[in-house]
Amino acid sequence: MNDADEAAAQPVTPSSSPRLAEQRFQGVGVSPGLARGPVFLLRRDDESVPDYPIRAEDVPSEVARFEAALVTTRVQILEMQSKIADAIGAKDAGIFDAHLLVVEDRAIIDEVQRKLAHELRNVESIYRDVANRYADTLSRIDDPYLRERALDIQDVTRRVLMNLVGRGHIGPRGLDYPHILVAHNVTPSDTAQLNRQLVLGFATEIGSSTAHSAIMARSLNIPALVGLHDALTLLQTGDQVLLDGYHGLLVVNPSEQTLREYEELARHKARLEAGLVELRETASNTRDGRHIVLSANIELPDDVPAVKASGAEGIGLYRTEFFYLNKSELPSEEEQYENYRRVASDVLPHPVIIRTLDLGGDKFMSSLHLPAELNPFLGWRAIRFCLERIDIFKVQLRAILRASALGNVKMMYPLISGLGEVRSANALLEECKAELRAEGREFDDNMEVGVMIEVPSAAICAPHIAREVAFFSIGTNDLIQYTVAVDRVNERIAHLYEPTHPAIIRLIKMVVDASHAAGIWTGVCGEMAGDIALTPLLLGLGIDELSAGASLVPRVKRAVQSVELSVCQSLAERVLEMDAPDAILAECESTAREFYPDLLG
């Protein structure tokens, strides 16, 4: 049982002060567990900008506030420019020249002053509207340089607004007390800033079970729910709540009766968790002796202790892009090498599979000023980005190769769509090997290199790709998204995101068969790997490895140990003849409940 469950299970001390009435809000549970504590509302900068009428005689003072904020912003930018120039050189610090031009842009300044006198609204709201209009206009122009200027305007706008409001951005990192985070959404950048010791759980207004926020919550073993519409207006920072990640419920001002009921639920779940902990040192073998490798997914080196505690056989997915987020500059080769070496050393003798950089989609590094895209998940991301930004890619490849000297490092490329990308990436890898040899640096010349199968074209071409790689790892989150053409974070069509869609089952079977024919193995590192209702199906389809969030590994191990491979193969044969996702899911759940009903309860 995690800390959040323990918090929920603590006895209630009756209070003599009058209690506020209990309120219940229903969302969708995406990470199991219970948490109790005060709410912290995470608001974006533009959500905290006040908007109110002013009098004509207030205009001069508003102009003065505006000018003072511009001066403060200019000083801040110059200070950042100076620090970066000292650290990595004047050339890289030049990126802030454009920011200085935005601060001093007379067109924006003059329009703000005109609108102040005409509309008689506070200067924060006027400046936000004017600057955002300029940025929106530039972002629609089909010119990379002008689109970058739009990003410059957005960056400067946020800084000016915070100086006008008189406070910096209030984010989760600055909190020093346990809390339940409530936000419109939790982005990968937010994740990188979280103080993971203090977040008891979180709820978001939007999202689905495969949204990044949900994946992160399961990885951290904290309860979470999504789809809590209007949460930022229904709740206030400081509200005492109970969060039920099992049933997707948020209870504000829980009554003593509700707390007693949840204390009993927490005790029941604690007994189940205690039984799973005992499986840590046992092998993940089916009842008839088939060994399935169970690995864990991580985002940061600090996740490794949870991996070791889970009983996982190493790391099946190390998402390296989180090392790049919320940084004002790119991480150096030495930084990356130390990072990867530390993780590999900590999991010895088990392997770690490092996924190369997967920026783009919903993960951006602000200092790169990547152009805005209408469809970022279908755009310049992952291996496509790396094969164009060879300067960035080779730094990472060299760092991974150097870490491979430990002997337990493997590497895989994300979002491969065809054989050409594999060959191009491998050619760069060979260049890096030649450079390291010339420098006399150690590395594993036989490091295994695999690819992620996340795109239907890669699954269809799997027999060709399998001849040139050491393994496949199926990223089911994106494979489902791209196969069924469903944005997995769009709640309006979330019901169409179906892991048991017949096309997904057939694609997985195609990939497994192609890999085994070529003598290589196939794993699953997407969310399907941690869904114990689907464990028998994946085993029956021939999957060799499952890699899930560390908190889910014990449950998956128990599921594997509870079934016979022959039963799983029979299930897969039946499912491959079926044509309806709901019917396939029901068949999978029926098999799972036959062998481990307590895990699904």
Query: Helix, strand or coil for residue 290?
Result: coil
> Residue written as tokens 């036959």?
594
Active site residue 184: no
270/36 Cα distance (integer angstroms): 16
**Active site residue: 432, 461, 525, 568, which one?**
525
532: left (phi over 0), alpha (psi -120 to 50) or beta: alpha
Token pair for residue 222?
Answer: 């904290």
Nearest CA-CA partner of 508 in 552, 566, 572 = 572
Contacts of 401 (CB under 8 A, 6+ apart): 429, 432, 433, 436, 443, 444, 447
Q: Are strands 240-244 and 34-42 parallel, antiparallel or unpaired?
A: antiparallel
318/325 Cα distance (integer angstroms): 15
233/37 Cα distance (integer angstroms): 19
Q: What is the dihedral of CA 282, 285, 289, 292, to 10 degrees?
A: -140
394/435 Cα distance (integer angstroms): 11
Active site residue 432: no
Contacts of 583 (CB under 8 A, 6+ apart): none
Q: Buried b / exposed e across 118-146, counting CB within 10 Å, b at 16+?
A: eeebbbbbbbbbbbeebbeebbeeeeeee
Cβ atoms 265, 223 nearer than 8 A: no
Q: What is the DSSP letter of 498?
A: -
Q: What is the DSSP letter of 54?
A: -
Nearest CA-CA partner of 121 in 180, 62, 185, 199 = 62
Nearest CA-CA partner of 127 in 111, 139, 140 = 111
Cβ atoms 447, 409 nearer than 8 A: yes
Maximum C-alpha span of the chain: 84
DSSP H helical ranges for 469-529: 476-484, 502-517
**Active site residue: 212, 386, 432, 588, which one?**
212
CA–CA distances in Å: residue 599 to residues 248, 538, 548, 564 = 18, 17, 16, 17
Please list the active-site residues. Answer: 212, 525
